């Protein structure tokens, strides 16, 4: 083993005071926040399974898959070498290994196959696999979430649900009926419409009597275009309608009207292919009633929003782990960085925020298992705040690594480039805050459920009690961000109190009291040593 070590004694100097790579780590057991949250909200029976997966995802081999899958991005071939149309995307082999790992672990299936607390298990699996690579989380998340919409129309949806429940990844380019498992994407966003899907122009004309339509139009973003089918919105005679558009037709031919025009050149998320597509009379099957398209697809979107929250929480954890590990191994001015008072203050601030994001994401997942009314408002509230906080935290963690944080051979630039995405897709920040306002106005039972849950944690901290007493869900549009932010902070504190986290007191002190704006800019007392010991990745 020692012969494999890089050479430290060079001709001109010795390499010292550098940090060992953070690999071959158990991402589940060593992450006390995740471990405790999963156990608390009903996942004790999944600990063994998650421990195995945590070791696998933290292994040097799987970490390297993530590096390779992003270093060599996917390539689109619209035609074969003879000029025939194929619309196929080729990925680095590591992409397929990551997909196989995630779907095989149950990322898409476990929530729907009768496993107890399956959504919580799903969220914890994503928390682990996403630390190896976030790009592959996109097709796996969409496949997981599609089941909620497919269930709305069992006659059409059932065969596809069966393909998801197989828990298998099959990258073969052939009809779904000949495959061991399927992946399912979603295409809503158009050039002129964007968030306002009712401004979409794609049209669907019925062909025959059995729910098939000819679709003409486009989508401006369609991620994972190698999926076997896509839930798609188009205007049918009866209004905006949801369709399932398959790459292959029942007679075994390609759905030739589905054309992938080009892949987006993205800032991050590079292992994942995101495309622009056109429908030239592509054939699609109606899913749900005509005119009920938004109501059908929103069932899927509610679940992808959960995964945005989990996805950002896991990025925060990954960044924090790198920062804490670095600071524990690097010495500057005669002390380990982690023992320098200001660095300890910064890392403590990052650690409480990361743990709060983890706790809230698992609490949210548990509402999906319980079909709990708290989830209606908690989903957009958490999506808004956790996703919005990720880039700030990742940046600050990067700075804790100094120059080493900025070089492409390390993990931080990829994390940083990925970090804004969850806030943009599946409803950008303002759109999500408006969703909270709308729900607060129209669904008093959802507000009541959230209030009851927040109140259930009262009496444990005077600061928390004061904070929730001042909450106001009703706001005008211009004030929506502040209202949602305050709800999110209260929800994070409540989640930490509920799971009896040792970090709850520090979170409340650092987030519910007045303080400076930068990480580490606070005067309140916080037990740095205890928080950092809990946050350390090994
Ligand atoms: C990498 C990537 C992959 C994607 N993959 C897919 C996919 O697979 N399928 C799919 O359907 N879509 C996909 N999307 C699209 C994504 O969901 C949209 O970009 C997103 O919903 C925002 O739509 P838009 O880009 O048209 O922005 P717009 O709708 O133009 O919004 C621009 C800004 O205005 C804000 N805004 C909008 N309305 C209001 C308002 N009333 N008041 C205040 N502010 C407002 C928004 O919050 C946003 O900040 C993907 C996007 C990215 C970046």
Which token pair is 358?
A: 């983890």
State yes or no: pLDDT of 2 exceeds 90. Answer: no
CB 217, CB 209: distance < 8 Å: no
CA 278 – CA 221 distance, rounded (Å): 10
What is the DSSP secondary-structure string of 441-510?
HH-HHHHHHHHHHHHHTTTS-HHHHHHHHT------GGGHHHHHHHHHHHHHHHHHHHTT-TTHHHHHHH
* Pairing state between β 274-286 and 212-223: antiparallel
Is the distance from CB of 49 to CB of 235 less than 8 angstroms? no
Half-sphere exposure of 361 (CA within 13 A, CB side): 35
CB 481 within 8 A of CB 11: no
* Contact yes or no for 344/528 (Cβ under 8 A): yes
Contact 436, 385 (CB under 8 A): no
Judge if the beta carbon of residue 538 lies within 6 A of ligand 1.
Answer: no
**Best probe residue, ligand 1, of 143, 194, 391 (max atoms within 8 Å of C-beta):** 194
Please give the angle made by the CA atoms of 480, 456 and 437, to the nearest 5 degrees. Answer: 15
Residue 173: Cβ-neighbour burial (10 angstroms; 0-12, 13-18, 19+): middle
- The percentage of the chain sitting over the pLDDT mark of 90, rounded to a whole number, equals 97
Q: Which two tokens stand for residue 97?
A: 């290994």
Radius of gyration of the chain from its Cα atoms, rounded to whole angstroms:
24
> Rounded CA gap, 149 and 229, in Å?
13
Mutation to probe ligand 1, out of 424, 429, 484 (largest number of atoms < 8 A from CB): 424
Tokens of 180: 């061991």
Ligand 1: atom nearest CA of 424 is 20
pLDDT tens digits, 280-327: 999 999 999 999 999 999 999 999 999 999 999 999 999 999 999 999
Q: At what angle do helices 118-132 and 93-105 cross, to 10 degrees?
A: 160
Kindly report whether the global pTM for this prediction surpasses the value 0.75: yes
Cα–Cα distance, 386 to 378 (Å, whole number): 11
3-class secondary structure, 256:
coil
Residue 109, pLDDT > 50, answer yes
Q: Which residue of 200, 425, 429 sits with most ligand 1 atoms within 8 Å of its CB, as the best mutation to test the pocket?
A: 425
Burial of 212 (0-12, 13-18, 19+ CB in 10 A): middle
Residues 21-67 pLDDT 10s = 999 999 999 999 999 999 999 999 999 999 999 999 999 999 999 99
Q: Average pLDDT, whole number, for the chain?
A: 97
Give CA–CA dist 460/464, Å, rounded.
8
Which ligand 1 atom lies nearest to the CA of residue 193? 26
Tokens of 4: 């494999």
What is the whole-number distance in angstroms between the Cα of residue 462 and the centre of ligand 1? 40
pLDDT of 165 > 70? The answer is: yes
Yes or no: say if 383 and 415 are a contact pair by the CB < 8 Å rule.
Answer: no
Buried/exposed code over 319-341 (b: 16+ C-beta within 10 A; e: otherwise): bbbbbbbbbbebeeeeeebbebe
- pLDDT number for residue 1: 44
Residue 269, ligand 1, Cβ within 6 A: yes
Can you say whether the dihedral through the CA atoms of 398, 401, 407, 412 is positive or negative?
A: negative
Q: What is the pLDDT of residue 266?
A: 98
CA angle, 327 then 332 then 334, to 5°: 115
**C-beta of 435 in contact with ligand 1 (< 6 A):** no
- Four-residue CA torsion sign, 516, 521, 525, 527: positive
pLDDT at 3: 63
Q: Residue 236 in contact with residue 257, Cβ under 8 Å?
A: no
Q: Is the CB of 267 under 6 A from ligand 1?
A: no
Residue-wise pLDDT for 234-286, tens only, equals 999 999 999 999 999 999 999 999 999 999 999 999 999 999 999 999 999 99
pLDDT in tens, 413-444: 999 999 999 999 999 999 999 999 999 999 99
- Alpha-carbon torsion 109, 112, 118, 120, what sign? positive
CA 414 from chain center: how many Å?
15
List, for residues 368-388, the tens digit of each pLDDT value: 999 999 999 999 999 999 999
Q: Rounding to the nearest 10 degrees, give the CA dihedral for residues 372, 157, 170, 245.
A: -120
Q: Ligand 1 mean position to 488 CA, how many Å? A: 22
- Rounded to an integer, what distance in angstroms lies between the CA atom of residue 181 and that of residue 171? 9
Given a cut of 50, whether residue 499 has pLDDT beyond it is yes
pLDDT digit string, tens, across residues 444-483: 999 999 999 999 999 999 999 999 999 988 779 999 999 9
CA of 48 to the centre of ligand 1 (A): 39
Mean pLDDT of 482-505: 98
Taking residues 187-204, report their average pLDDT: 97
Q: Is the CB of 192 under 6 A from ligand 1?
A: no
Query: What's the mean pLDDT in 4-29?
Result: 95
How many CB atoms are located within 10 Å of the residue 306 CB?
29
């Amino acid at each position: 083993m020692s012969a494999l070590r890089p050479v430290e004694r060079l001709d001109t100097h010795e390499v010292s005071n550098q940090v060992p790579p953070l690999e071959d780590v158990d991402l589940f057991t060593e992450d006390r926040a995740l471990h405790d949250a999963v156990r608390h909200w009903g996942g004790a029976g999944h600990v063994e399974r998650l421990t195995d997966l945590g070791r696998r995802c933290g292994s040097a081999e799987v970490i390297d898959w993530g590096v390779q899958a992003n270093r060599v991005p996917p390539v689109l071939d619209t035609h074969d070498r003879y000029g025939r149309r194929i619309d196929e995307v080729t990925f680095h082999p590591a992409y397929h290994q990551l997909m196989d790992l995630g779907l095989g672990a149950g990322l898409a299936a476990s929530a729907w196959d009768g496993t107890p607390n399956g959504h919580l298990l799903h969220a914890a699996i994503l928390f682990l696999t996403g630390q190896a690579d976030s790009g592959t989380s996109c097709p796996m998340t969409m496949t997981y979430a599609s089941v909620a919409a497919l269930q709305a129309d069992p006659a059409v949806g059932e065969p596809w649900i069966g393909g998801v429940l197989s828990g298998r990844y099959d990258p073969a380019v052939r009809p779904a009926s000949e495959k061991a498992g399927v992946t399912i994407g979603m295409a809503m966003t158009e050039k002129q419409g964007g968030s306002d899907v009712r401004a979409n122009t794609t049209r669907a004309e019925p062909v025959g009597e059995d729910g098939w339509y000819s679709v003409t139009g486009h989508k401006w973003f369609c991620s994972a275009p190698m999926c076997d089918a896509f839930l798609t919105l188009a205007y049918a005679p009866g209004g905006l309608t949801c369709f399932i558009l398959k790459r292959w037709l029942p007679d075994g031919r390609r759905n030739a009207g589905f054309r992938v025009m080009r892949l987006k050149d993205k800032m991050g998320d590079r292992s994942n292919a995101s495309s622009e597509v056109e429908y030239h009379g592509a054939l699609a099957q109606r899913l749900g009633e005509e005119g009920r398209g938004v109501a059908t697809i929103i069932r899927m979107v509610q679940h992808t929003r959960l995964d945005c929250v989990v996805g950002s929480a896991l990025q925060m954890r990954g960044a924090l782990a790198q920062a804490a590990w670095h600071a524990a191994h690097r010495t500057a001015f005669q002390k380990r960085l982690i023992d320098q008072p200001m660095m300890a203050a910064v890392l403590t601030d990052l650690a409480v925020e990361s743990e709060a994001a983890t706790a809230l994401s698992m609490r949210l997942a548990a509402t999906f298992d319980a079909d709990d009314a708290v989830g209606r408002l908690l989903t957009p509230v958490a999506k808004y705040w956790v996703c919005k906080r990720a880039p700030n935290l990742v940046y600050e963690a990067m700075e804790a690594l100094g120059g080493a944080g900025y070089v492409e051979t390390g993990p931080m630039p990829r994390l940083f480039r990925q970090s804004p995405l969850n806030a943009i897709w599946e409803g950008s920040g303002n759109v999500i805050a408006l969703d909270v306002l709308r729900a607060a106005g129209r669904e008093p039972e959802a507000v009541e459920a959230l209030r009851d849950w927040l109140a259930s944690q009262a009496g444990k901290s005077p600061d928390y009690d004061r904070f929730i007493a001042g909450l106001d869900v009703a706001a005008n549009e211009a004030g929506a961000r502040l209202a949602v932010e305050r709800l999110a902070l209260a929800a994070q504190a409540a989640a930490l109190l509920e799971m009896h986290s040792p970090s709850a007191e520090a979170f409340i002190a650092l987030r519910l009291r007045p303080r400076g704006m930068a990480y580490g800019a606070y005067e309140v007392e916080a037990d740095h040593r205890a928080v950092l010991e809990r946050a350390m990745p090994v």
